[in-house]
Amino acid sequence: MYAIVDIAGKQFKIEKDQQIFVHRLEAKEGSEVDFDQVLLVDNSGKVNVGAPVIKGAKVTAKVLEHLKGDKVIVFKKKRRKGYRVKNGHRQYLTKLEILKIDEKASVAKKTAVKKEAKLADKKAPVKKTAVKKPVAKKAPAKKTAVKKPVAKKASAKKTAVKS
> DSSP state, 103?
S
Residue 155 lies in a domain: no
Provide, rounded to the nearest whole percent, the portion of the chain with pLDDT above 70: 73
Overall average pLDDT of the 55-64 stretch: 95
> Which has more confidence, 134 or 71?
71
Q: How far is CA 85 from CA 69, 80, 82, 132, in A?
A: 22, 14, 10, 61
Residue 157 lies in a domain: no
Sheet holding 2-7, edge to edge: 10-15, 2-7, 38-43, 46-49
Kindly tell me if the per-residue pLDDT of 25 is higher than 90: yes
- Calpha distance 139→142 (Å, rounded): 9
* Per-chain mean pLDDT for the chain: 84
Least confident span in 56-60, 142-146, 153-157? 153-157
At 140 the pLDDT is: 73
Residue 71 lies in a domain: yes
At 144 the pLDDT is: 74
Residues 6+ apart with CB under 8 A from 32: 60, 61, 62, 63, 99
Least confident span in 15-19, 100-104, 122-126, 136-140? 122-126
> Which has more confidence, 52 or 146?
52
At 81 the pLDDT is: 97
Nearest to 23 by CA among 12, 38, 37, 39: 12
Query: What is the chain's Cα-based Rg?
Result: 38
- Calpha distance 63→35 (Å, rounded): 12
Residue 156 lies in a domain: no
Q: Are 52 and 36 in contact (CB under 8 A)?
A: no
Which runs of E-coded beta strand occur in 50-82? 58-78
- Tens of pLDDT, residues 72-129: 999 999 999 999 999 999 999 999 999 999 988 654 445 555 556 665 666 656 566 6
Residue 69 lies in a domain: yes
Overall average pLDDT of the 53-57 stretch: 93
Residue 27 lies in a domain: yes
At 156 the pLDDT is: 62
Range of the structural domain that residue 22 is part of: 2-78+85-105
Centre a 10 Å sphere on the Cβ of residue 151 and count the other Cβ atoms it contains.
6
At 160 the pLDDT is: 64
Would the pTM of this model clear 0.75, i.e. be above it? Answer: no
- Counted domains in the chain: 1
Residue 162 lies in a domain: no
Residue 90 lies in a domain: yes
At 108 the pLDDT is: 46
Which runs of E-coded beta strand occur in the chain? 2-7, 10-15, 19-23, 32-35, 38-43, 46-49, 58-78, 83-102
Q: Considering only the C-alpha atoms of the chain, give the largest distance between any 2 of them, rounded to a whole number of Å.
A: 126
